[in-house]
Amino acid sequence: MQLLEYVFDGVSVQPVQGYKADPDASPTLVFFPGKLNISAEVGIELFAEEERYSDYGVRLLLKVGPKADEQAPYVVQVNARGLVRMHLVQAEGQAEERRVRAMVNGVSLLFGAVRELVVTITSRSVHGPFLLPSVSFADLASPKGERVAKLVARKPAVKRAKKAPQSSSD
């Protein structure tokens, strides 16, 4: 699969007034997803069906803000559209599988572009860089998945280096 092109139909990144950064959190890590309300609306449309590939238009409307009684540095809303190409030889009864793969993977690729755009914009903003957490769009493979994606944010895994055992030298 390829992401052939993508565009942003709208981008809004607003600093939250009165936001106070957690002094115990590293400003270089992904913002803790448990404090965020993340929602997405997604869609897909078949543009071209050829023997060796299918082209789909995918869209993602991502909304991110603080959960009630929590703090987050920004309120974000980004609307993105992209064109993805599925390189599978067409076979009998494979159309739905191609559509589902295009949806899950296409929206995931768009999310990566949105994530990079948000961190770029916020890197020069008042509260500093805001790197959105990684999310899974696997639920889009379910029959109800096209309307609204249930996002599963992943807490960043921070591995701390273990100290090497001290060796005594004689």
**DSSP assignment of 81-92:** EEEEEE-----T
Candidates 139, 141, 116; CA nearest to 129 is: 116
- Give the domain 2-141 fold: Bacterial Protein-export protein SecB (3.10.420)
Mean pLDDT on 91-107? 83
d(CA 88, CA 53): 6
Residue 162 has pLDDT above 50, yes or no: no
Q: Which residues of 149-166 are buried (b: 16+ CB within 10 A; e: fewer)?
A: bebebeeeeeeeeeeeee
d(CA 106, CA 81): 10
Residue 83 has pLDDT above 80, yes or no: yes
Per domain, the residue ranges of the chain are 2-141
Tokens of 91: 């076979």
pLDDT at 53: 85
Tens-place pLDDT, residues 85-95: 988 766 666 77
Residue 75's pLDDT band (cuts 50, 70, 90): very high
pLDDT at 61: 97
Contacts of 153 (CB under 8 A, 6+ apart): 33, 34, 36, 38, 133, 134, 135
What pTM, to 2 d.p., does this model score? 0.80
d(CA 9, CA 12): 10
Residue 126 has pLDDT above 70, yes or no: yes
